[in-house]
Structure formats: structure tokens, C-alpha cells
Structure 1
Amino acid sequence: VAANNHNQQHKIEAKWQIDKQTLSLSLRDFGQGFSEQQMASLGGQLMPSSDGMGMAVMLSNVTLERLNGSLTLSNHPQQGAIAMVSLKIV
């Protein structure tokens, strides 16, 4: 949401997919995306920024890993960032 606010955007794109063993949710914002430095560190350590310290990303990453899932962050080729959450279906 903060990334969208910086670019005065008011939408988020959400897609989900279920296959035999995995539930995947893709969330895209329309902000500026992540810098190379952010991409190298997001989810593994606190990242100081004007909007926070990245604690939500770090906690989400740890929680999903404990549930045999994953959080993958990437930049969209046109604009914004994508967070992909995947969880194994038991």
C-alpha cells in the first residue's frame, strides 16, 4: 500500500492458483519496485526506510517457511513489485 501511495496508485493486482500440492497467491503493487540493495536483503534482516524497517516482510518470510511455504519478492518488468506466496496443501 505504501508503494502505491508514493506513485498515487490505487490498485493492487491479485492472482491465485491451486494445483495438486500448492496454493499460490501473487500480489502486485504499482509502486517503484525494489532497488538491488533491497532485493538482496529483504526478508532476511531489518531494512531501515522512510516507511518502516521491513519487519513485516521478515516475519512473513519466517512464518511461511515454518508452514513449509515460501515468500518470493520480485520487480514487475513494467512497474511495481510482486510478492508471491506459496503454501503446500496438506
Structure 2
Amino acid sequence: MREKLCEDLIVFSFDSNGLKKINNTYGHSAVDKLLRLAGICIDYSFGKYGKVYRYGGDEFIALIYVDSRKINLILDNFKKNCGRKQGI
């Protein structure tokens, strides 16, 4: 008989919006910088719980194993981490 897992698989999907406008206004290097920062922020926030992948041009996915009761704390930390990255 299998033991019950104490953690759940939780999937987060991220899509960066507005990149065409940023590209047209500030150029390709600005979009690259934003995508790198998004990846860093997502990985820093979710990577310790599972895996983070970039798929497609501006989409990311995080597959994490964590007790579902911790989701609000993880999301709050994600918001704080992204706020720290602004202006870099």
C-alpha cells in the first residue's frame, strides 16, 4: 500500500504581456532584459519547491511540490520578490 504524499503538485503558468509595445518603444534588448528578470523572479520564488521552465517566447511554467496550505505565503513572497526586481 502506498503512503499518502504530504505535498501536492501545483502548476503555475505565467505569460508576459505588453512585450510588443515595449519592443517597439525601447527595442529588443529591453524585452530580453524583462524576460531575464521575469525568469529570475519566478525561479527565485518557486524553484526551491520544484522546477521552473520557459516555454514559448514569453511564457513560463512552475511545477512545484508543496503543501497546498503554503500557497498564499509562496504567492506573497513572489509578489515581494518581483517588486524588488523593479528598476534593475
- TM-score band by shorter chain is 0.3 to 0.5
Where relative contact order (Cα < 8 A, 6+ residues apart) is larger, the structure is 2
- TM-score of the aligned structures, taking structure 2 as reference length: 0.39
**Higher strand proportion (structure 1 or 2):** 1
Q: Which has the higher helix share?
A: 2
- Greater Rg by CA: 2
